[in-house]
Chains A and B, each alone.
Chain A
Amino acid sequence: MDLLKGTLDAMVLKTLSWGPMHGYAVTRWIRRRTGGTLRVDDAALYQALHRMERRGWLESEWGVSENNRRAKYYMLTKVGREHLAAEVKSIRRYTTALFKVLEAEAA
């Protein structure tokens, strides 16, 4: 299943809201949560990370991973947290409206 526009950013931000993570951890986390239903290119995911870093939603820092390697850790900034909240709200509004139509009973 392809992703709706804008939802990848929201998913990445949500993932990082649990705490700092490196890119690989983010991909693993999303893959597990969705059980593979959503097809996310790792490439697209990294691009989202870098794009959001430039916008100031994320910050990054090099650190050492659980398997003792140098890894780039991302964390949510205050702006990113606010953006996530707004994004969740607008996706919810969108899907609610959508389902009101799709699951409407005959009047």
Chain B
Amino acid sequence: MALPNHIRSAFRIRRKVKDQVADDVDAEIRFHLESRTEELMAQGRNRREAERRAMEEFGDMPGAKRRLRAESARSLRSVRRLEWLAELRQDARYGVRKLASQPVFAAVAVLTLALGIGANSAIFSVVHAVLLKPLPYSEPDQLVSIWEVAPTGDNHNVVSRGNFMDWRDQALSFETLGAYGSSGGVTFYPDNGAPTRVRVSFLTPGVFRALGVSATAGRTFTPEEGVPGNDAVVVLSHRFAQNQFGVGDVVGEAITLDGDRYSVVGVMPPSFDFPQPDVDVWAPWALDEEDRQNRRSHNLMVIGRLKPGQTLERAQAELDALAAGITELYPEHMTGWGVNVQPFRADLVASTRPLLLLLLGVVGLVLLLACANLANLLLARAVARQREVAIRGALGARRGRLVRQFLTEAGLLAVLGGGLGLAITAVGLDAFVALAPDDIPLLDDTRVDPVILGFAAGATLLATLIFGLLPALRVTGADLENTLRASGARAGTAHTRVRSGILAAEVALAVVLLIGAGLLLRSFLQLQQQDYGFDRENVMTATLDLPFARYSDGTVDHVEFYEALLARVASIPGAISAAGSTDLPAGFGSMTFSFAIEGRPRPGPRPREEPQPLRIVTPDYFHTLRIPLVEGRFFTPYDDETAPDVLIINESLARVHWPDESPVGKRVSFEGQEGPWLEIVGVVGDTRHYAVDAMPSPALYMPHAQKRWDWTSWLNVIVRTDGDPVALAPSFRAALWELDDQLVPGRIASLTDLYAETNARRRFAGILLVVFAGLALILGTIGVYGVLSYTVAQRAREFGVRIALGAPRGAVAALVIRQGGRLAMTGIALGIGAAFWLSRFLESLVYGISTTNVGVFVGVPLLILVTAGLAAYQPARRATRVDPVQALRAE
């Protein structure tokens, strides 16, 4: 359709630059030739001759056309660019005015978006740090973790020293293999000042070489320092070196840890945080040929660097072959054991990955919901402008130009919301990370960097397209004729359908999030109410290692030391009783031992039963934790080294090995069928020892006074109190220092706090889900309210007619409520379906109930229905108040 130019320009309707230019150039030249021809004819030439002459004078016609077109196209484009910017400015100014005139709408929109974008950026920065960003080691993809596969099927079992040494010395797939243990606390004695606890990580020199890191000052360990006798050396963390020695050169200094002297050979860069961020000191884990014989105690984690070009599969195959050889040499210990090689990064974050992806999904849903809400709000506003849009469209305005105008407005909101969201992220990220469970690896690397900025910008852009494009396309694509012909009120019905669709999706999203939150809340209640098998309240715990050097030379008797300490602690005002144990509840786990049962020889290469956790405790342990006695007796102070060796087992273990008889009086041995024997004197109740969500599991207890191994000298302290357990800490320290003022207790915490830490991931996910589900509920309510209010306004005339014809006002209200109910029900049905499918991703976090728990799947929809009802109340009331006279006159 060719439009007159002035109309085109009045409505700023454009054509393609190329066509426009070609037409203009042709017209200009045609005008020139015609004018010249006429002039020549007026001078008396005939038309033919005049035309020929005019052409001649013009010169190179095709060349001129080509050059003129190129020249004009360039100027036209730059004009249009300027115009485009001017239009953008104009649209933006218009948008700003529009927003400023509706400050509440603007504030709600910007805040919703800011929360959505902020939450997404925050979660994504964690995801980026933990799952995506390359590890700060050279060629991190070559790094692998190696575990043993236990006969129980556990494929992440720690590795025995002998096996590690064989792999290290024989496997050809690796450039380097290194091993490290779990890091622990030691006491650091500064040359002047009070002793403090520091965290030390023991590792073989190969770890540094496998990671490919070097010290900033001095060096890391040499292979020779990984052998007993040469291992009195340490490498310090940057932080520890700074705090203790300031800026000076510490290499060559000597420091005292637990009474031993170590010389400092190097300082690591500040960024080095292997195997965890809070390590102060690295010391060699020295191994010699005696260790090579040890195939029984598993306590090493192994990291390796593959040779270039070597694959994980071939490394796995090589270690499988080695393992088979090892099993042949040590059938007693190694039958049934295997090897598991994993990519290091993936292995490190394997347990965290589902949690983070879940959270990313949740905040993604929230952003989607925020966008849906905004789309609905913008759509309502767009409909009001529909006639203007339709007229411009009828006059040929490009749809793109109209869409752009809507998008500019949406973009304005998005930029404000996205900017605010990013600001929220930047300010709140540290607090957010602090809320996250400590056991997420690499979490400390979380920061706002260009990648996060890019993500936020991308999310903002995407959000704009989602909530801006839909109203724009909807309005500009509307059937022109109908819009123009229809009255303003009727034009809205098609949009109401779209809005209702969006709203149903909103309700569905809210249902999904609320069901997730509900499942986690139910799990929480379940965990609070469950029976732990003992009383967790009002118990103080303290970790306590005695400095090896001063307590291992025979001058101090550990049993006497702890007896004296516990007696003092138990007499502190506020303490009810005190006990010691090798491992605290909710702690890192227990040493496990295999044992033989008297009179039940096992055929085959493994002469003993499956290993089970062994806790070495003082007599008051059961009394202090209030673990009930089921059969037999507790330990007494008379169960000492002069008395016959005794054991207590729990019900689970009794069920496994003595299902039909009493275990009391039965004897077991940690060696074999030739003894020495320990007699079971009691059976106690099961406990959920390891974590809030641990099932009760078998355990053996041994009196500390009858300990059989040196390393079992160390006990942690458990105190039952009559009030706030942590308030006892100062008195506890005082009691400790009365015995030895050089001792430093490790961590003092209440038992309930220790258990809460084992629940940190669930709590983190739970808090976020509850917050976001609440947000979803609010957004959904606003959505329902908005759509219904809009409907009432649209149908005011119809309602007026109904009322005028005698319909009871209640029936009119019912119409509105029914519409709200229909919307909510559609959303709920969709949401339940989606939640049914999605709740499987909560499997690892939901505890004690099914992920399709009926209570939650019924309760949440009811909550939504009630909320939708509340949201519908106000619009429904408004519908009954429609004045028939006014409504009819308004047309």
Contacts and interface: CB of A to CB of B under 8 A. Distances in A.
A70 interface: yes
A50 B35 contact: no
Contact of A69 (B5, B29, B31, B36): B31
Interface residues of B, number: 26
B450 interface: no
Contacts of B36: 24, 27, 42
A44 B71 CA distance: 13
Contacts of A28: 39
B75 A43 contact: no
Interface in A27-46: 27-28, 41-44, 46
B60 A41 contact: yes
B65 to A, nearest CB: 9
Nearest to B61: A43
A72 interface: yes
Nearest to A56: B75
B58 A47 contact: no
Given A65-B35, A69-B34, A43 B63 contact: yes
Contact of A51 (B29, B34, B71): B71
Given A65-B31, A65-B35, A50 B71 contact: yes
A43 B58 contact: yes
Contacts of B38: 67
Nearest to B32: A24
A71 interface: yes
B71 A27 contact: no
Contacts of A67: 35, 38
Interface in A1-60: 22-24, 27-28, 41-44, 46-47, 50-51, 53-54
Contact of B64 (A24, A47, A72): A47
A24 B31 contact: yes
A62 B34 CA distance: 17
A54 B59 contact: no
Contacts of A23: 28, 31-32
Interface string B736-749: 00000000000000
Contacts of A69: 31, 34-35
Given A24-B36, A41-B58, A46 B31 contact: no
Interface in A53-107: 53-54, 62, 65, 67, 69-72
A24 B37 CA distance: 11
A54 B73 CA distance: 9
Contacts of A46: 28-29, 32, 64, 68
Given A24-B36, A67-B35, A47 B28 contact: no
Nearest to B38: A67
A47 B71 contact: yes
Contacts of A70: 27, 31
Interface in B38-66: 38-39, 57-61, 63-64
B31 A71 contact: yes
Contacts of B657: none
Best-buried of A24, A51, A70 by chain B (most CB within 10 Å): A24
Contacts, number: 67
Contacts of A27: 32, 36
B723 to A, nearest CB: 86
A41 B68 CA distance: 14
Nearest to A66: B35
B24 interface: yes
A47 B355 CA distance: 68
A42 B57 contact: yes
B68 A50 contact: yes
Contacts of A53: 71-72, 75
Contacts of B64: 43, 46-47
A65 B30 CA distance: 13
B61 to A, nearest CB: 7
B31 A47 contact: no
Contact of B75 (A50, A71, A72): A50
Given A28-B39, A50-B72, A51-B71, A44 B34 contact: no
Contacts of B57: 41-42
A40 to B, nearest CB: 9
Interface string B65-84: 00110011011001000000
A47 B75 contact: no
A105 B274 CA distance: 97
Contacts of A51: 71
A42 B60 CA distance: 9
Contacts of B63: 43
Contacts of A65: 31, 35
B59 A44 contact: yes
Given A46-B68, A51-B71, A54-B71, A72 B35 contact: no
A22 to B, nearest CB: 7
A62 B75 CA distance: 15
A28 B54 CA distance: 12
Interface in B396-411: none
A72 B71 contact: no
Nearest to B9: A62
B35 A24 contact: yes
Contacts of A54: 71-72, 74-75, 78
Contacts of A41: 57-60
A93 B345 CA distance: 78
Contacts of B61: 43
Nearest to A31: B57
Contacts of A71: 28, 31
A65 B34 CA distance: 12
A51 B67 CA distance: 10
A42 B32 contact: yes
Given A43-B60, A65-B35, 5 more contacts: A42-B58, A43-B64, A53-B72, A62-B5, A69-B34
19 contacts: A22-B31, A23-B32, A24-B31, A41-B60, A42-B58, A43-B58, A43-B59, A46-B28, A46-B68, A47-B68, A47-B71, A50-B68, A53-B75, A54-B72, A54-B75, A54-B78, A65-B31, A65-B35, A67-B35
Interface of A: 22-24, 27-28, 41-44, 46-47, 50-51, 53-54, 62, 65, 67, 69-72
7 nearest CB pairs, A to B: A41-B59, A43-B64, A43-B59, A50-B71, A54-B75, A42-B58, A24-B35
